[in-house]
Amino acid sequence: MIRGEWEKTGHPTTDHSPLPTHRHALQLRDLWLRLGREVILRGVNLDVPVGDGLTLLGENGAGKTTLLRVLASGLRPTRGEGRVLGFDLRDGRAVRECVHLMPVDGGLYPDLTGEENLDFALQMHGQSGDAAGALRRVGLTRAATRRVRFLSAGMRKRLALARAHLLARPVTLVDEPFANLDEGGRELTLELLGDLAAQGVTLVIAAHEPHLARRVAPRAVRLVGGKVEDRGT
């Protein structure tokens, strides 16, 4: 695995220093993405220091989900450069090691139970963790042994949140965490994402509720037609 010192020099050089010494969690330079005939991201530039929280705002179709997928190395940029904790976005394996993406639908395995979903996620990352405790924390103890396909949308959201919290990857990307949740669920989401932020996890939250998201990810940028309009707020 090769990490670059691109942030200091403007050009990638070999660097094998451990992850926490890197100053930037995310760095994007003139990043473009085309899907089919559509240009979805148009020259995105972004710097997010390690441990900072960023809220991604923008109208439906602005490109928020697509950008999160690029940052998780699920989509390869058409043009431009991107680094996650110094790893080139094209180095999918390295990026996926340090990033967790919580997609809008939770991204859970429908035929596994809640408990099995959490155990499997831990196993995939070679981590240990208290899955039962995480389920308790999100109020899903009784639903732990039910297959995910039989859970409500809000219950799935809580389960996906429990997984993100349990994994606590250094960069955690969250797509619309407040959708489908009742008031208690929203407060719980703020609490768990706040925990991650307090642990030094870099959070990027795509949301339509800036007043909520910015409580845990204070800096906000707006995507407009696939371009970042940074208001520096």
Ligand X SMILES: Nc1ncnc2c1ncn2[C@@H]1O[C@H](COP(=O)(O)OP(=O)(O)OP(=O)(O)O)[C@@H](O)[C@H]1O
Residues that bind ligand X (CB under 6 A): 35-36, 38, 40, 58, 60-66
- Identity of the residue, 120 or 178, whose beta carbon is nearer to ligand X in the bound complex: 178
Both tokens of 184, joined, read: 């208690």
101 versus 134: smaller Cβ distance to ligand X: 101
User: Cβ of residue 95: shortest distance to ligand X, in angstroms?
Assistant: 19
Using DSSP's 3-state secondary structure scheme, residue 145 falls into coil
| Nearer to ligand X (CB atom), residue 66 or residue 172 | 66
Least Å from the CB of residue 42 to ligand X: 11
End-to-end distance of the chain based on CA atoms, in angstroms? 35
Q: Are 193 and 174 in contact (CB under 8 A)?
A: yes
Query: Residue 77 CB, nearest distance to ligand X (Å)?
Result: 14
Residue ranges of alpha helices (H) inside the chain are 6-9, 64-71, 92-98, 114-124, 131-137, 153-167, 183-198, 210-213
Distance of CA 86 to CAs 53, 89, 217, Å?
Answer: 18, 9, 21
Nearer to ligand X, 3 or 156 (CB): 156
Minimal distance, residue 177 CB to ligand X, in Å: 12
